[in-house]
Amino acid sequence: MKPASTAVVLLVLGTITHASGSSLLAQTSPVWLANVPTPTANAVATQYPKDEDIKVAPLGGPYPLDISTYPRPLKMPPSDHPEVQEVMKHIDWSKVPKIQPRTIKDYLVDTSGYDPRTDTDCWWTASTCKKPKLDYLPEDIYTCPKAGQWGLNYDDGPLRVWSFDQEKRQWEEPRFYNFMVEHNKQKATLFFIGSNVITFPEAAQRALNDGHTICAHTWSHQQMTSLTDGEVVAELYWTHKAIKEVLGITPKCWRPPYGDVDDRVRAIAWQMGMRTIIWDQDSNDWNLVSLRMNLFQHENSNSTVSMSERWLPEIQKVFDVMPIHQCLNDPYPYWEESWTYPTADNPSLPSEIDHPNSVRHSESSGHSAGGSKQGKPTSSAATRSTNTFGSSANGSNTFRQAVAVYLIFMIMSLIVFT
């Protein structure tokens, strides 16, 4: 796998600074979510949970939620809705490149006619580009920086099985969440579909209560570069709103379905408060001397859950498995100051005063919205690592990790093709 080349970024209100010194487009907390009602008392955690509070248990609920105020689940939300139109007023459209929406051909975005060598739009589907052509947008997050780390993440949840067949329903949550509790109280990054959040709020709340990191995965799982600007805003807005109303948090992270993203979609998502997370799929170019993984999986069927239950314990034996933000040493995945997470380098929780959005943080440290007095970033959101498995002490680990990766893909192949 190719090593990451992600810049160090400080996420604060105001200007954001690359490690190289160039400025990113200002990013602020989504003000259009300020009046969204938050969960009722004691329905969900309001800060990172204590270890003793994470237990195998059935779901609570049902949680009362008026879904009539939302678009139809898993259907394209309308872009002319007044709430969507209000969000669009907050976006600086001069910073959104004029890229025409892609066309769909045989259910896929049509890449014919696009030159991936020049790749003027940094279109991931055509070129797997992760570093925007626009210098005011950050590079996509796609891998953990240190050798031996595994950024555990799942798309498409929370999983609900719509069936009266109890044998089929056994696969829905909290099955896999309980499985992770039973296996060292494992934490993961969960990319939730907004529609699934409102139709299964109890499961979404359970995931947050267990200490998982929640990111957005759009409302109806569309190929995002095929949408108009307004449709992109609608997909992201309703997902953000659902997560805020059910969980009380506002994620700074999102993943495009199928990885389909270009600089137009990135620019909209960034101005809506979210950084793009992809994955590294260069499976024929892994560097086993410094193996680090961000392999995406799904939480959307009995097959994907079964696969995860089979290989996760084996991966835990040979990798340092953790959520993506933890391996990036970013303890602040949400805009809310009350939420801070442990990181790879700092297992203890940072204090609220350290949150980059906190006024007290700025006053106590002398940091302005533009960075530190020295002009350097003050938090290592994502840094390059020089650690490798090159030493003799770690040589056996390299082999074991390579075998583990091979076994994972063998298991995946058996499930997909049998």
What does the pLDDT look like over 147-169, one tens digit per residue?
Answer: 999 999 999 999 999 999 998 99
Answer whether residue 29 shows pLDDT above 90.
Answer: yes
Per-residue pLDDT reduced to its tens digit, 220-246: 999 999 999 999 999 999 999 999 999
Residue 189, SS3 per DSSP:
strand
Q: How far apart are CA 123 and CA 120, in angstroms?
A: 8
- Closest Cα to residue 201, out of 166, 247, 255? 247
Residue 97, SS3 per DSSP:
coil
Predicted model pTM: 0.81
Residue 155 bears catalytic tag: yes
**Catalytic residue (choose from 110, 119, 298, 320):** 298
Q: Give the CA distances from residue 272 to residues 18, 234, 285, 350, in Å, rounded to whole numbers and listed in that order.
A: 19, 11, 34, 26
What is the model's pLDDT at position 403? 58
Answer whether residue 180 shows pLDDT above 80.
Answer: yes
| H or E stretch at 194 | helix 194-199
> φ and ψ at 70, to 5 degrees?
-110, 160
CB 220 within 8 A of CB 76: yes
The rounded mean pLDDT for the chain is 81
Beta bridge partners of 253: 275
**Catalytic residue (choose from 121, 140, 155, 354):** 155
Give the mean model confidence (pLDDT) for residues 170-176.
Answer: 94
Answer whether residue 21 shows pLDDT above 90.
Answer: no
One-letter amino acid of 65: L
Answer whether residue 26 shows pLDDT above 60.
Answer: yes
Per-residue pLDDT reduced to its tens digit, 322-332: 999 999 999 99
Judge if the upstream peptide bond of residue 256 is cis by omega within 30 degrees of 0.
no
Answer whether residue 406 shows pLDDT above 60.
Answer: no
Residue in the structure block whose two tokens are 């533009």: 370
Give the mean model confidence (pLDDT) for residues 31-59.
Answer: 95
Q: Which two tokens stand for residue 409?
A: 């893909």
Per-residue pLDDT reduced to its tens digit, 322-374: 999 999 999 999 999 899 999 999 988 776 546 666 654 544 443 332 233 33
